[in-house]
Amino acid sequence: MGQLAGRPGSTFRPGSMLPTFLPITVYRPMLVGLDKPLILQRLRTETQPYHRALEQNEFNRALAAGNITEAIAARFLAKLYGFLRPYEARLRQHAFSPAWQPERRQRAHLIEQDLPAAAHLPECADMPELRTWPQLLGALYVLEGSTLGGQVITRQLAKAGIPTRTYFTGSAEHTGPLWKSFCQLLAAEATPDNEAEIVQSAIQTFQKLHAWIELR
């Protein structure tokens, strides 16, 4: 190993099958085994406990147990609406470039089709801080990510004969592409300087949404 020590950019790793004549950074994505941007890995890992806690809500549990009812679905949608309204109002105040397709990321209006009385529902008063760009990015991660369950939920609600599923059908065939483009745009915005704030905001968004959903 000694003979490599002086070579610029070389890193000797005992037991490694990698040639040692290239900077190790070249291989990093392969070594990690994922070409996921670091910010997404961090978000997934560091929000996991809060994500898990939120998933213990009545609606998710009923879906998992196969005993979902229209009343449980309606309660969940009402709560989601009360959170999405103030969140989306804040999104509308931000000047997104067209690449973000900001109008496609507004979904509260879909719930109005499921719940005719939506306009009179209470709104969450204890929202995450959504003032800075990194804070918005963290909250977007949580609420864009939440659309990923839509197709599965739609099928389960249909099977249970529950008609209130416009929200979950949502952007339907656009869900995958919207999530992909969000991940790319997020990765382009994340820097070593703002990553911690993005992650902290995602954690806060999970916590505030959870507290609001559990509030009776």
Ligand X SMILES: C=CC1=C(C)/C(=C/C2=NC(=C\c3[nH]c(/C=C4\NC(=O)C(C)=C4C=C)c(C)c3CCC(=O)O)/C(CCC(=O)O)=C2C)NC1=O
Q: Would you say 108 and 85 are in contact if contact means Cβ atoms under 8 Å apart?
A: yes
Minimum CB distance to ligand X smaller for 84 or for 118: 84
User: In the window 171-210, what residues touch ligand X (CB under 6 A)?
Assistant: 209
C-alpha span between 128 and 91 (Å, rounded):
13
Minimum CB distance to ligand X smaller for 11 or for 166: 166
The region of 81-89, 97-105, 144-152, 158-166 touching ligand X under the rule CB under 6 A is 144-152
Residue 94 tokens read as: 């931000």
Closest CA to 164 of 78, 70, 101: 70
Binding flag, residue 36, ligand X (CB under 6 A): no
- Measured in Å, how far apart are the chain's first and last C-alpha atoms? 65
Binding to ligand X by CB under 6 A, coded x per residue (else -) over 56-95, reads: -x-xx--x--------------------------------
Looking at residue 7, the DSSP 8-state letter turns out to be: S
Instruction: Mention every residue, 6+ apart, whose C-beta is less than 8 A from residue 216.
Output: none
Binding to ligand X by CB under 6 A, coded x per residue (else -) over 152-171, reads: xx------------------
Binding flag, residue 109, ligand X (CB under 6 A): no
Interaction site with ligand X (CB under 6 A): 40, 43-44, 54-55, 57, 59-60, 63, 141-142, 145-146, 148-149, 152-153, 209
